[in-house]
Amino acid sequence: MSLDFDMTFDPAYGEAVVVAPGVRRITVNNPGPFTFHGTNTYLVGSDTLAVIDPGPDDDAHMAAILRATQGRPVSHILVSHTHRDHSPLTRRLKAETGAVVCAEGPHRAARPLRIGEVNPLDASADFDFAPDLALSDGAVVAGDGWALRAVHTPGHAANHVCFALEGTGLLFSADHVMAWSTSIVAPPDGAMSDYMASLDRLLDRDDRLFLPGHGGLVTAPQAFIRGLKAHRKMRERAILERLRQGDRLIPDMVRAIYRETDPRLHGAAGLSVLAHLEDLVGRGAAVTSGEPSFESEYRPA
Ligand SMILES: [Zn+2]
């Protein structure tokens, strides 16, 4: 199964680009190794509007969103997860519009922190965020001519949720499935076992188009998800092979497995290997003494 990433994307910063009937996208000018050209904010509806993922607290982006509403009411703000490139502008947008803020819940890690563990991901989390309405899995939020259903998809973040635009085959896949790259799955905020189960959740659906939190559209979601799963299984096999070859520490495995990767991403790669090892230890396919951590020594089962 080959996995073809689509790196073509015109961010058109500040413009509301029509991407589907009744759906517009505004990309934030916050490009980077983890955000691609920037975060995508989506506006849904033509009478009363929903805003999905307002983005980082950014003056120009705030102005662009308000310009795109053309004075129409924003009834709901939906937030896919509480990373700082997606949720912080919610506070100002709510103050300006009076919209109801909907999300799975406040920021949290996928597992409890261990004694003495420092969470390297805290800097990327929006701890100030709290929804007005906590969306259970399957919950529907509706406005004039649109209804959005919450599809819980933990993995990239514990509170990650995708939103299905009912009756259209469109799914806002946020950072769970993106056309330009794999997702970051980094403990303790993320968990590989959750991520793989969340891929299966979307495979069980029949959405025809994904609108991600970064980059362009995923036009053949089912085949793409199968490719993502195959990619993770390949990584998993590479890690098991490094264990058999005698690697015991995560940095050694990263150096061997991620030779081709931008060194700026090696920190994230180390956390991704840890995510796989947590999953492998949980399934009895690898062993370590005590709880799996970045510093642990790992062995084949
Ligand atoms: Zn993101």
Query: How far is ligand 1, taken at its centre, from the CA of residue 81, in Å?
Result: 8
CA of 300 to the centre of ligand 1 (A): 34
Distance 287 CA to ligand 1 centre (A): 32
Q: Which helix (H) or strand (E) holds 300?
A: strand 298-300
Q: How close is the Cα of 39 to the center of ligand 1, in Å? A: 6
Predicted pLDDT at 207: 98
pLDDT tens digits for range 35-48? 999 999 999 999 99
Query: In the prediction, which pLDDT does 253 show?
Result: 96
Lookup result for tokens 């073809």: 4
- β-pairing, 161-165 vs 170-174, is antiparallel
Q: What is the pLDDT of residue 297?
A: 97
The token pair that represents 207 in the structure block: 């959405």
Mean pLDDT score, 228-245: 97
Weakest mean pLDDT among 9-18, 108-117, 127-136, 190-199: 108-117
Give counts: helices (H), strands (E), the chain. 6, 14
In the block, tokens 């009834």 appear at 75
Q: What domains, with CATH codes, occur in the chain? A: 17-227 (3.60.15.10), 239-300 (1.10.10.10)
Residue 110 carries which DSSP code?
S
> How many whole angstroms from 62 Cα to the centroid of ligand 1?
17
**How much is the pLDDT for 17?**
98
Q: How far is the CA of 104 from the centre of ligand 1 (A)?
A: 16
Mean pLDDT of the residues in the chain: 95
Residue corresponding to tokens 């001519």: 145
Position 232 scores a pLDDT of: 96
> Measured in angstroms, how far is the CA atom of residue 193 from the centroid of ligand 1?
20
Is residue 224's pLDDT more than 90? yes
Distance from C-alpha of 147 to C-alpha of 93, rounded to nearest angstrom: 20
Average pLDDT rounded to a whole number, residues 187-215? 97
Q: Tell me how far the alpha carbon of residue 166 lies from the centroid of ligand 1, in angstroms.
A: 23
Percent of the chain beyond pLDDT 70?
A: 99
pLDDT at 1 over 60: no
Q: Give me the half-sphere count of Cα atoms (radius 13 Å) on the Cβ side of residue 185.
A: 27
Residue 93 CA to ligand 1 centre (angstroms):
19
What average pLDDT score do residues 81-93 get?
98
Q: State the Cα–Cα distance between residues 202 and 147, nearest whole angstrom.
A: 18
CA distance 1 to 190: 25
How many angstroms separate the CA atoms of 170 and 167, rounded? 8
Q: State residue 264's pLDDT score.
A: 81
Angle between helices 192-203 and 266-282 in degrees, nearest 10: 80
Distance 296 CA to ligand 1 centre (A): 29
Instruction: Determine whether 297 is exposed, middle or buried from the number of CB atoms within 10 Å of its CB (0-12, 13-18, 19+).
Output: exposed
Q: Model confidence over 108-156: pLDDT tens digits? A: 999 988 877 888 888 899 999 999 999 999 999 999 999 999 999 999 9
What is the Å distance from ligand 1's center to 178 Cα?
10
The pLDDT score that the predictor gives to residue 117 is: 81
How close is the Cα of 98 to the center of ligand 1, in Å? Answer: 25
Whether residue 193 has pLDDT greater than 60:
yes
Confidence (pLDDT) at 2: 63
Selection from 169, 104, 166 nearest residue 135 by Cα: 104
Mean pLDDT of 101-110: 97
Residue 120's pLDDT is 81
Q: Is 200 exposed, middle or buried (0-12, 13-18, 19+ CB in 10 A)?
A: exposed
293 token code pair: 């951590």
What separation in Å is there between the alpha carbon of 243 and the centre of ligand 1? 31
| Rg over CA atoms, the chain | 19
Q: Say whether pLDDT at 296 is over 90.
A: yes
Instruction: Please tell me the distance between residue 58's alpha carbon and the centre of ligand 1 in angstroms.
Output: 15
Q: Give the Å distance between the CA of 57 and the centre of ligand 1.
A: 14
What pLDDT does 10 receive? 94
The yes-or-no verdict on residue 250 having pLDDT over 70 is: yes
Six token digits for residue 80? 């896919």
